[in-house]
Homo-oligomer: A and B are copies of this chain.
């Protein structure tokens, strides 16, 4: 790695994802290629969410990607929010279309139209589905995984009898996001509510889980929206309730995207490149023969036996018996984020042991071949836990709760930058006004991330106006 994470985080990030072979740029503006090692992280995320959605009784479906322009105009806030970044199909099969078709940025309008048909009685409710799909938001500034013109995501859409049931689903999915992001990706998140200016276009309330990257900046890792009856009114999602009245359903939507891959890289990566949580690593263990192994075929034979044993235990392992030097291999697999390296040479054979190097900690350990597969399984589990703990510690070190005025915030940012430290996340009081929120952004580049449900400190006065604070908010620079 020629780019140091500490010195130029952006350059480090780009170098890391290229050297780990996760992606490539494409000739289409703002669109990227997910190479197999990058895409497989997404597949593991999908597997876990599919399991969770199923447990929640939510099933997958698929809706058309092209959305007629007239659909968007039905919900005023929705079209206002999305129209600046929509790509449009205007011609097909040699003919100009009568109505432009947008490439979906999200599917509320398409699914709302379907729900209007499908939902007739309270017996049909709750109606809860999810879609895995490609979506489009024509972005000016792009960053692989984190902001691209086409990306992959899941979008859940549900309709309910009343506000209580819809809000329960909204909050439940936020919890599912928090659990999966923490348990699978080892990324701790802040749960909270978005301020009105950061709400999803057309939502009544938007909630988010926010993660802190190693450069102290925020990534919005998942969002869950309560729509009230706004989309139901726009798309006529009415049902016959238990009192035989036609009333509007309450709807929700919620999503996570391939941004999660970017967040995983930025939270765990280090100066040696990518570090992958074992649960999403395509290769959890790499076996490397060392010493004068080529003269002793029994070295590779023994590794192949170990490989079979590990695979039988459900561990994703490979052998690297290429001609490259051990040092080259160590570096290569570190760059690619493989959680565990097992070295094995003639001397280890004599001692009936292997040398184990975990990607996230210094030093190697000699481990007996006796009971090795259980050892490996435990060590991977421990690494998974350790990554989350380490990320939590990193995060705590860059949470600031003592800042009370905009001047203090500016000074904090300047001071931290001057010494090469991170301004991180700042907990601030806010009077709830759009203008004060805008002023924070204008003067510091920090934006409101969310209003945490249980802030560690309740701030009393607004960081800008000094008036009594309505909310305590997280502020940070964001991707």
A residues bordering B, Cβ < 8 Å? 24, 26-28, 31-36, 39-40, 42-43, 59-68, 71, 83-94, 100-101, 103, 110, 113-114, 117-118, 129, 133-134, 138, 140, 150, 152
- Whether A90 contacts B93 by the Cβ 8 Å rule is no
**11 more CB-based (< 8 A) A-B contacts, given A27-B71, A27-B113, A88-B92:** A28-B64, A28-B67, A31-B65, A32-B64, A34-B62, A35-B61, A36-B129, A65-B134, A85-B93, A87-B89, A90-B91
In the complex, chain B residues whose CB is within 8 Å of the CB of A133? 134
Partner of A60, one of B39, B63, B68, B129: B39
Partner of A33, one of B60, B62, B89: B62
Instruction: Given A33-B62, A36-B59, A152-B62, verify A26-B84 contact (CB < 8 Å).
Output: no
In the complex, chain B residues whose CB is within 8 Å of the CB of A43? 60
Question: Most B CB atoms within 10 A — which of A43, A59, A64?
Answer: A64
Q: How far is the CA of A66 from the CA of B30 in the complex (A)?
A: 11
A85 to chain B, nearest CB (A): 5
Closest to A140 in B: B93
- Whether A66 contacts B150 by the Cβ 8 Å rule is yes
Closest to A37 in B: B59
Q: How far is the CA of A39 from the CA of B133 in the complex (A)?
A: 13
- Whether B84 contacts A94 by the Cβ 8 Å rule is yes
Q: How far is the CA of A103 from the CA of B87 in the complex (A)?
A: 11
Partner of A26, one of B34, B110, B134: B110
In the complex, chain B residues whose CB is within 8 Å of the CB of A90? 88-91
Closest to A64 in B: B31
Closest to A62 in B: B34
Closest to A95 in B: B138
Closest to A100 in B: B91
Q: How far is the CA of A63 from the CA of B151 in the complex (A)?
A: 10
In the complex, chain B residues whose CB is within 8 Å of the CB of A36? 59-61, 129
In the complex, chain B residues whose CB is within 8 Å of the CB of A40? 59-60
A77 to chain B, nearest CB (A): 18
In the complex, chain B residues whose CB is within 8 Å of the CB of A67? 28
Q: How far is the CA of A88 from the CA of B94 in the complex (A)?
A: 9
- Whether B28 contacts A93 by the Cβ 8 Å rule is no
Q: How far is the CA of A19 from the CA of B61 in the complex (A)?
A: 17
- Whether A93 contacts B84 by the Cβ 8 Å rule is yes
Instruction: Given A39-B61, A60-B43, verify A91-B88 contact (CB < 8 Å).
Output: yes
- Whether B114 contacts A24 by the Cβ 8 Å rule is yes
Q: How far is the CA of A137 from the CA of B131 in the complex (A)?
A: 22
Q: How far is the CA of A89 from the CA of B136 in the complex (A)?
A: 12
Q: How far is the CA of A138 from the CA of B66 in the complex (A)?
A: 12
Q: How far is the CA of A64 from the CA of B68 in the complex (A)?
A: 22
- Whether B27 contacts A68 by the Cβ 8 Å rule is yes
In the complex, chain B residues whose CB is within 8 Å of the CB of A100? 91
Q: How far is the CA of A103 from the CA of B89 in the complex (A)?
A: 9
Q: How far is the CA of A39 from the CA of B63 in the complex (A)?
A: 10
- Whether A101 contacts B134 by the Cβ 8 Å rule is no
- Whether B84 contacts A91 by the Cβ 8 Å rule is no
A432 to chain B, nearest CB (A): 32
Q: How far is the CA of A129 from the CA of B36 in the complex (A)?
A: 8
- Whether B91 contacts A87 by the Cβ 8 Å rule is yes
- Whether B33 contacts A114 by the Cβ 8 Å rule is yes
In the complex, chain B residues whose CB is within 8 Å of the CB of A63? 26, 33-34
Please list 15 pairs of residues, one from A and one from B, whose beta carbons are closer than 8 Å in the complex, sorted by A's number.
A24-B118, A26-B63, A26-B114, A28-B101, A31-B64, A31-B65, A33-B63, A34-B61, A39-B59, A66-B150, A84-B93, A86-B92, A87-B89, A87-B92, A89-B89
Q: How far is the CA of A40 from the CA of B130 in the complex (A)?
A: 12
In the complex, chain B residues whose CB is within 8 Å of the CB of A117? 24
Closest to A50 in B: B43
In the complex, chain B residues whose CB is within 8 Å of the CB of A59? 36, 39-40
A74 to chain B, nearest CB (A): 12
Partner of A92, one of B33, B101, B138: B138
